[in-house]
Structure 1
Amino acid sequence: MSAVMITRKVRKWEKLPGKNTFCCDGRVMMARQKGVFYLTLFLIVGTCALFFAFECPYLAIHLSPTIPFFAALLFLFVIAMLLRTSFSDPGVLPRALPEEATFIEMEIEAANGNVPAGQRPPPRIRNVQINNQIVKLKYCYTCKIFRPPRASHCSICDNCVDRFDHHCPWVGNCVGKRNYRYFYLFTTSLSLLTIYIFTFDIVHVVMRSVDNGFLNTLKETPGTVLEVLVCFFTLWSVVGLTGFHTYLISLNQTTNEDIKGSWSGKNRVQNPYSHKNIFKNCCEVLCGPTYPSVLDRRGLMQDDMPVSATPAAPSSSSLSSSNPVPQTTKTTAPLIPNEHTPDDAKPSIADSAEKSPSPREELPPAQKVPPLASPETDAETALAKDKIH
């Protein structure tokens, strides 16, 4: 059995390292842990469905028909921003090729020189200048690259992400350079939708309580009670998250930089990416150009796949030619023909070949045949009998 290499063309997303999952032929890119994302989608869709089923019919008649209209617009915008954040490439950086990684390692060894045994090698960093300030680029031992400024390696997705903000399980993806604005728009619109539903839930209960009483209203509309509870506990977290990211955008700072204290630590290093103006910082983050993906997920590449070559099953004709099967058909003609044997009864050469046993077939033990007596032996036997008589 031997292996044969077959070259076939595959999409590049099929061979990308990391812990991401791809759908729709590489168009959709998410993290592998998507359980919390499904919970987010269920809470948003479920709460809005209850609002449209219980409150909207009553409020559209007794208050204004524009209430369900604006609720539908907010709901569609929230779902669009959620899917745009979850299904997009956050800015994953490609890993170095084996040749590139070898070259970088040689450069690092040449720069650091021989390190004595037992001594820790110096950190692998490079210094670049941004807005008259030195910024250190750290080396990623997994991706074998020097990460660009503001990039970091996500341990959950196992990829380096450009302008890494954080990994958000609620959207099932990393938040980085390419999807941060959509994440911010998602949290902002979700805050507005939560406030909108919570407010009109209270209005609905108050209006019906005037005629039916408060307790009877709660019994008649159990969906409203569930909506109020969900919105009440969601409101604080979502609105607080939106306020925190508004603060970060005004400073042109990421969550990762804020947690590590990169620009507010002991060294008091100023943020080189801030324009010292809130309006300019917000415009850069929210209105800047859309950066293309550097992965080329749907590009084609050649892949060598080993395939085990098994020998073909021999045909019946080859088996019969290589290993002839002995025939068991009996013939009435003698094995050694003589002149008394008629011509039609004489065995042919083919019949004798078929009758002859193969080397693998065991022959029955031969019977002992007494030797034929010669004429001289017969005479001596007769004289002996006469003497006896």
Structure 2
Amino acid sequence: MITRKVRKWEKLPGKNTFCCDGRVMMARQKGVFYLTLFLIIGTCSLFFAFECPYLAVHLSPAIPVFAILLFFFVMAMLLRTSFSDPGVLPRALPEEATFIEMEIEAANGNVPAGQRPPPRIRNVQINNQIVKLKYCYTCKIFRPPRASHCSICDNCVDRFDHHCPWVGNCVGKRNYRYFYLFTLSLSLLTIYIFTFNIVHVVMREFHCLTVLEVLVCFFTLWSVVGLTGFHTYLISLNQTTNEDIKGSWSGKNRVQNPYSHKNIIKNCCEVLCGPIYPSVLDRRGLMQEDSPVSATSAAPSSSSISNPVPQTMKTTAALIPNEHTPEDAKPSVAASAEKSPSPKDGDPPAPKVPPLASPETDVETSIVKDKTH
């Protein structure tokens, strides 16, 4: 058996795809993401090709320069959101899952047959507010606060906001600020292109491509600007889309949001300017995988183990007179004579002494033979 080093992303569960040796992490459903790229790049290309030359000459050369900078910022935020780990939580190891199951069974006791077991929930206190941690039957863990399991990516995501098909990834703890900056900058870019398209139509004759850009920007404007406004509202309250849809902190039963600072500026600073947490997946870490090898390749290394030198040979080799053996370990002539029985009349001649015997033993053997004859 030999070990082959593989990256950990190759063995990660879930429905994510990885590229560039684990550096890029996305969802498997990326068709809408490609549509997003096509709409942004296509609209900006038409604007740079037809409107910007005329506007740079007749209005200001700063118009295309600012549009290019804004375009690159939008693309950077989009790729940063789409290609990053949103905060996926690793699943429990088999030993950990077994230990958690034993803890749950010990806490719930024996449930009678036919009765439904109690829900697997743990309570923690955050800012004097009780928050329930739910158990994930897929990942075999108690999810941290604000985490949820994405059914599309089949992974638990920390501070799960939503799964966005437009960016081809989940939006969570590690990429939410980039998602918000993407929607905000895309709104500014859409408004910018829409405005100067109208200016170009007014200043110049009717052009079909310009009208096409105006229509695309008009319909994009409502959705993108509306999405940006909705997430601005959530950031001001320090909420997530998942919490808003479920009504987790709607005020019912006197349940308040324990994560809100009751201040819009503090909430915005925490979400947009807080620390960037490292990924807990270790996607590019190395792990060893056993793989079988042929017997011929393993023969040189295993020959010494399968055919060891017998212990008797090691013991007798040290009794050869030519070896440097301690004096007390060498056998005496008398001892060898006592151990070798004398032959009797009628018995067959004694066999020859093995080569390992000493010269003194050979002399005594020849004397005994002469006496018998």
Instruction: Give the TM-score normalised by the residue count of structure 2.
Output: 0.77
Relative to structure 1, is the Cα distance of residues 351 and 179 closer, same or farther in structure 2, using a 3 angstrom cutoff? same
2 CA distance for matches of 1:387 and 1:171? Answer: 108
1:355 CA drift (Å): 59
CA contact (8 A) 2:333 2:361 kept: no
SS in 2 for 1:21: strand
Relative to structure 1, is the Cα distance of residues 229 and 324 closer, same or farther in structure 2, using a 3 angstrom cutoff? same
Q: Which moved more, 1:265-274 or 1:89-98?
A: 265-274
Relative to structure 1, is the Cα distance of residues 370 and 207 closer, same or farther in structure 2, using a 3 angstrom cutoff? closer
2 CA distance for matches of 1:386 and 1:282? Answer: 114
Q: Supply the RMSD in Å over aligned alpha carbons.
A: 13.4
Deviations 1:199-229 (A, max 9, x none): 0000000001xxxxxxxxxxxxxxx111111
2 CA distance for matches of 1:361 and 1:79? Answer: 110
1:304 CA drift (Å): 2.5
1:301 CA drift (Å): 0.6
1:317 CA drift (Å): 25
Matched, 1:173 2:131: no
2 CA distance for matches of 1:55 and 1:361? Answer: 128
Deviations 1:278-312 (A, max 9, x none): 00000000000010000000000112246798999
Q: Which moved more, 1:55-64 or 1:301-310?
A: 301-310
1:9 CA drift (Å): 1.1
CA contact (8 A) 2:17 2:25 kept: yes
Relative to structure 1, is the Cα distance of residues 132 and 386 closer, same or farther in structure 2, using a 3 angstrom cutoff? closer
Relative to structure 1, is the Cα distance of residues 200 and 361 closer, same or farther in structure 2, using a 3 angstrom cutoff? farther
SS in 2 for 1:312: helix
1:268 CA drift (Å): 3.5
Deviations 1:121-168 (A, max 9, x none): 000010000000110000000000000000000000000000000000
CA contact (8 A) 2:336 2:361 kept: no
Relative to structure 1, is the Cα distance of residues 68 and 340 closer, same or farther in structure 2, using a 3 angstrom cutoff? closer
Relative to structure 1, is the Cα distance of residues 323 and 10 closer, same or farther in structure 2, using a 3 angstrom cutoff? closer
In structure 1, list runs of 5 or more residues that go unmatched: 209-223
Q: Which structure 1 residue ranges, 4+ long, deviate > 2 Å from structure 2?
A: 304-319, 322-389
1 CA distance for matches of 2:165 and 2:352? Answer: 94
Q: Which moved more, 1:352-361 or 1:120-129?
A: 352-361
1:7 CA drift (Å): 2.3
Relative to structure 1, is the Cα distance of residues 48 and 368 closer, same or farther in structure 2, using a 3 angstrom cutoff? same
CA contact (8 A) 2:337 2:361 kept: no
CA contact (8 A) 1:23 1:29 kept: yes
Relative to structure 1, is the Cα distance of residues 361 and 10 closer, same or farther in structure 2, using a 3 angstrom cutoff? farther
2 CA distance for matches of 1:65 and 1:146? Answer: 57
Relative to structure 1, is the Cα distance of residues 348 and 166 closer, same or farther in structure 2, using a 3 angstrom cutoff? same
Deviations 1:229-267 (A, max 9, x none): 110110000000000000000000000000000000532
CA contact (8 A) 1:327 1:354 kept: no
CA contact (8 A) 1:124 1:139 kept: yes
Matched, 1:101 2:100: no
1 CA distance for matches of 2:120 and 2:367? Answer: 123
CA contact (8 A) 2:158 2:172 kept: yes
Q: Identity over the aligned pairs, expressed in percent?
A: 92
1:361 CA drift (Å): 60
| Structure label with greater radius of gyration | 1
1 CA distance for matches of 2:153 and 2:298? Answer: 45
Deviations 1:12-46 (A, max 9, x none): 00000000000000000000000000000010000
Corresponding residue for 2:14? 18
Relative to structure 1, is the Cα distance of residues 154 and 356 closer, same or farther in structure 2, using a 3 angstrom cutoff? farther
CA contact (8 A) 2:320 2:356 kept: no
CA contact (8 A) 1:326 1:358 kept: no
- How many residue pairs get aligned? The number is 368
Relative to structure 1, is the Cα distance of residues 361 and 250 closer, same or farther in structure 2, using a 3 angstrom cutoff? farther
Relative to structure 1, is the Cα distance of residues 158 and 360 closer, same or farther in structure 2, using a 3 angstrom cutoff? farther
1:181 CA drift (Å): 0.1
Relative to structure 1, is the Cα distance of residues 226 and 311 closer, same or farther in structure 2, using a 3 angstrom cutoff? same
SS in 1 for 2:292: strand
Q: Which moved more, 1:354-363 or 1:12-21?
A: 354-363
2 CA distance for matches of 1:146 and 1:340? Answer: 70
SS in 1 for 2:257: coil
2 CA distance for matches of 1:81 and 1:157? Answer: 21
